Amino acid sequence: MSNAHDYDFTRIDGSRLALREFQGKAVLVVNTASECGFTPQYAGLQKLWEQYRDRGLVVLGVPSNDFGAQEPGDEAAIAHFCSERYAVDFPMTGKVQVIGGGAHPFYRWIAETLGEDAAPRWNFHKYLLGGDGELVAMWPSKVEPLSAEVTAAVEEALG
């Protein structure tokens, strides 16, 4: 596989989501969890999506229960939580593993391409993909979605 556009997820509603659908757009991929200290970042992700979606940014939430079992719900519970608590309307995938041998192929590609140190260390790890499907930046959980470094990278990726 050559870049992120070669990978597919399942949307939270069960339909197929091919990352190639986002060709030409910047995509911020974030592994999420509903019961984490970083969960309030959903608000910042939604605001970032609202601020930049018309310019070509896609925020993609990827629920995972890999860290501290902080995403125990099923897809319906996750979708309800995100919608009711944070008014999330950016795309979300179904729940997947993001680390280890059972990790979703997209996350295995990141670890294989950039090394294990590039794999998520906790919930709300962020990866920014360019319009060509290449990884252009990444940030650990503690970096807020609306931080200067994230918004500057998004601006640059959008041209």
Query: For 75-122, what is each residue's pLDDT tens digit?
Result: 999 999 999 999 999 999 999 999 999 999 999 999 988 888 999 999
Give me the percent of the chain exceeding a pLDDT of 90: 94
Exposure string of 18-33, with b = 16+ CB inside 10 Å and e = fewer, is ebeebeebbbbbbbbb
Q: Taking the complete model, does pTM exceed 0.75, yes or no?
A: yes
* pLDDT value of position 4: 96
Q: Which residues contact 86 (CB under 8 A, 6 or more apart)?
A: 42, 43, 46
In this model, does residue 62 exceed pLDDT 70?
yes
What is the token pair recorded at 89? 């309307």
Q: Verify whether residue 36 is a known catalytic residue.
A: yes
Catalytic hit among 12, 17, 33, 36: 36
Written as six digits, the tokens of 150 are 């994230």
Q: Sorting pLDDT into bands at 50, 70 and 90, what band is 1?
A: low
pLDDT for res 113: 87
Q: What is the arithmetic mean of pLDDT over 127-133?
A: 97
**What sections of 66-147 are H helices per DSSP?**
75-86, 105-114
| Residues whose CB falls within 8 Å of the CB of residue 32, separated by 6 or more in sequence, listed in order | 39, 42, 61, 62, 63, 64, 71, 92, 123, 124
136, 142 contact by CB (below 8 A): no
| The pLDDT of residue 137 | 96
Answer whether residue 40 shows pLDDT above 60: yes
Q: 4-158, what's its fold?
A: Glutaredoxin (3.40.30)
Residue 47 neighbours by CB under 8 Å, 6+ apart? 145, 146
Predicted confidence (pLDDT) at residue 38 exceeds the cutoff of 80: yes
Residue 93 CB: number of other CB atoms within 10 A?
A: 23
Q: Across residues 56-75, what is the average pLDDT?
A: 97
